[in-house]
Amino acid sequence: SQQGEEDPQALSIQEGENATMNCSYKTSINNLQWYRQNSGRGLVHLILIRSNEREKHSGRLRVTLDTSKKSSSLLITASRAADTASYFCAVGRTGTASKLTFGTGTRLQVTL
Amino acid sequence: EAQVTQNPRYLITVTGKKLTVTCSQNMNHEYMSWYRQDPGLGLRQIYYSMNVEVTDKGDVPEGYKVSRKEKRNFPLILESPSPNQTSLYFCASRAIGSGLAKNIQYFGAGTRLSVL
């Protein structure tokens, strides 16, 4: 079964609004990452948060991690039409340092 | 430019006709991996390789083969493709070791395969 499960599956917002996506996982992790995929293209790494970190920022992105709840959230502030894409969380599990397990993704649509 | 290159980008074939999808990376990464992406199922790992001549099964290896004779190349082989292997395939690579940067995977642009 998938380690990372994103919620919601799809999200539609207007430009300028904030977008929040959530990810839940099942086992102990070493790190959690978020990737972006434009339609039919390869995934691009956005941000990584370690298991001992609670929050991380990168530009308009903010990621939080709650290991007690086994969940993470990705916040995109002041969204733009160019943010339209699918967003995936990926967990790097403890003991399997090289393996990343991806969730099913959240499809974000940002309209003008 | 650091990149992972897959070829071909699009492929239509018929059941049973052997095919190979190539993958090459220019970042000297030890770890390489193949995924397939299907609607509603996300990315599922097919095979991975920790280094030259070291390969292992992922979550959905049935019907696929790989080889890692050189560090930069990691071809995906479908000996006898079937319609249920119609999918979008991605190759990825990353370095191995400590440090945050070594956890990041780099993806190819994808190969869309249709098996008729």
The string of pLDDT tens digits covering residues B19-37 is 999 999 999 999 999 999 9
Plot region of B36 (φ>0 → left; ψ -120 to 50 → alpha; else → beta): beta
Give chain B's length.
116
In whole angstroms, give the CA distance from residue A65 to residue A57. Answer: 12
Of A9-13, A90-94, B79-83, B97-101, which range is least confident?
B97-101
In the predicted structure, residue B67 carries a pLDDT above the cut 90:
yes
Strands (E) across A1-112 are located at 5-7, 10-14, 19-24, 29-37, 43-50, 55-58, 61-66, 71-76, 85-93, 100-102, 106-111
**pLDDT at residue A2, as a whole number:** 46
Q: What is the distance between the alpha carbons of residues B67 and B57, in angstroms, rounded to a whole number?
A: 12
- The stretch A96-105 carries a mean pLDDT of 80
Spell out the alpha helix ranges (H) of chain B. none
Q: Averaged over A55-73, what is the pLDDT?
A: 97
The Cα B73–Cα A34 span in angstroms is 26
Average pLDDT, integer, range A29-48? 93
A4, A88, A98 member nearest B96 (Cβ): A98
Pairing of strands A106-111, A85-93: antiparallel
Residue A95 has pLDDT above 80, yes or no: no
Contact (Cβ atoms closer than 8 angstroms) between residue A7 and residue A109: no
- Asked if A45's CB is within 8 angstroms of B106's CB, the reply is yes
Cβ of B48 and A31 within 8 Å? no
Q: Is the pLDDT confidence value at A1 over 50?
A: no
pLDDT of residue A96: 58
d(CA A33, CA A35): 7
Q: How far is CA B41 from CA A37, A74, A103, B58, B92, in A?
A: 15, 20, 8, 15, 18
Cross-chain CB nearest to B103 (options A92, A102, A104): A92
Q: How far apart are CA B23 and CA B89, in angstroms?
A: 11
Q: Which distant-in-sequence residues (6+ apart) come within 8 Å of A57 by Cβ?
A: A63
Q: What is the pLDDT of residue A94?
A: 67
Contact B54/A at CB under 8 A = no
